[in-house]
Structure 1
Amino acid sequence: MSRENEVQHGLLRLQQALQQAQLWQKTPVSAEALASTQPFAVDTLSLPQWLQFIYLPKLQALLEAGQPLPTRVSVAPMAEETFGDAQPALVAAIAQLDAVLSSADGRR
């Protein structure tokens, strides 16, 4: 499987994990909240909101445009800090996507 396909599958797994954890929002956040310049938009968004409204769309846009994907990704530590043991499937999905993005050849 190509790296792009692995990332696409990882994005889908992450979305499903957010939905299964009932952390997926049906209504969008404000433009002001999305304009944050802080890491993970910690001043305006929760981590699930950042994942849904910034991280997933940005990675999807890069894939669709054929643009280079990030190669140094470390979102899982923030997820572990935020969720602790409360959301193991969500943390695992994030860690798996981190691994795919951070591997030079797309293999784990």
Structure 2
Amino acid sequence: MNKLKYFAYSTLALALMALPAMAQGAADNDSTVSSYKAIAAGIGFGLAAGLAGIGQGLVGSKAAEGAARNPGAAGSVQTIMIIALALIESLVLFALVIVFAKL
């Protein structure tokens, strides 16, 4: 426990001493912020699109499974599947709008 306390204090001291070294001018900060915005937007939209693709695949597979188990309800399963796919795709488009608005 004592070693953990010393480690926490030394980490805190190093973090506080590093603050003046991280100071930058306003011009440098603007370019850094804009580059980080672009990186964050790309990663965020990539995650949104990738996870939506996984979700759409799961919706399609479960709809096919449901139609195979109960062929009489295939019409209603297909309708529900199309609505779910439209909602998932609208979330991806909403993420794209947010990316363009932030950039």
**What TM-score, normalized to structure 2?**
0.34
**What TM-score, normalized to structure 1?**
0.33
Q: Which one has the largest radius of gyration?
A: 2
